[in-house]
Structure 1
């Protein structure tokens, strides 16, 4: 009986430790952007490697019910043509959109967004990025981080600030 309790306890400890995400050192300018493959609106996954050869702006949001998120998406949509004119693509990753692709469709309807949207619930695949969840990363054509714009829940990097960084 004692051995059985020990095995159960040890197994639970192992599972807890294995399920805990270990945070690597915080990403910084000059680092290679960690690769990811995410769910999008279609059957095709969204991969970081899909954007190789062009600058990429990655921003993180919560879900369609977040007013701060929707405000940022609307603002970025207004600047999307200018971002593309600077040779960059914009990818918005939602970390709390539990309704999946249907939620992304809702976001498109609410905001008229035309940029790529992706899902990473609970930051399972992009956990190295934006530990607080509101930062924006600008990558160069080779996938290196050239700028990190910090954000908070109510105050996110907006289009003007992103364009200013892209034009440097």
Structure 2
């Protein structure tokens, strides 16, 4: 795992398939703010809560100039089922080989039920219009995270 990203760092570039199979690149969002969040698995309770929270807040986030991208190791087909089942409005991206997660330092050792395991570290980043990290949050909680992020960004 590389060093964790901090505000001011250049956001690592990526190009990944989304839940429809279309390729989405971070550079596609140059000139706008993007919230990029990493989660471990579609259709699990915490990840579902977080994705639904982002979807519920999407209109307001967009009104403030933010787009939202969720990244997990799930294949596009599973992401499409997740999107449809939960009526998600956010873009879901597939990183099955975890190459992007490695670049963003969101895959590695973490604590789970008192044990050290390797996996996706639930993390959220805000990338500014110039491609710089504005906010870097690692080990976030699924429940209440979007509300906290909104407060941190001064949107409430």
**122-131 vs 40-49, which deviates more?**
122-131
Matched, 1:80 2:58: yes
Per the TM alignment, residue 148 of structure 1 is displaced from its structure 2 partner at its CA by 1.3
Q: 1:151 aligns with which of 134, 139, 143?
A: 139
- Which residue, 136, 144, 148 being the options, matches 1:161? 148
The alignment covers a number of residue pairs equal to 141
Q: Tell me whether 1:125 sits opposite 2:112 in the alignment.
A: no
CA RMSD across the alignment? 1.8
> Do 1:39 and 1:46's aligned partners in 2 also have CA atoms closer than 8 Å?
yes
Deviation (angstroms), 1:117: 1.0
1:116 partnered with 2:91: yes
TM-score calculated relative to the size of structure 2: 0.81
Q: TM-score, normalised by structure 1?
A: 0.76
State the alpha-carbon separation in 1 of the partners of residues 32 and 91 from structure 2.
14
Contact 1:63 1:103 in 2 (8 A): no
C-alpha displacement of 1:79: 0.8
Partner deviation per Cα, 1:87-118 (whole Å, 9 max, x = no partner): 010000112x1xx2221111112221111110
Q: Matches of residues 1-168 of structure 1 in structure 2 within 5 Å?
A: 23-95=1-73, 97=74, 100-129=75-104, 130-131=106-107, 132-152=120-140, 155-156=141-142, 158-167=145-154
Q: Which structure exhibits the higher relative contact order, with contacts defined as CA atoms closer than 8 Å and separated by 6 or more residues?
A: 2
Larger fraction in helix: 1
Q: State the Cα distance separating 1:120 from its structure 2 match.
A: 0.4
Which structure has greater strand proportion?
2
Instruction: Tell me the distance in 2 between the aligned counterparts of 1:140 and 1:149.
Output: 15
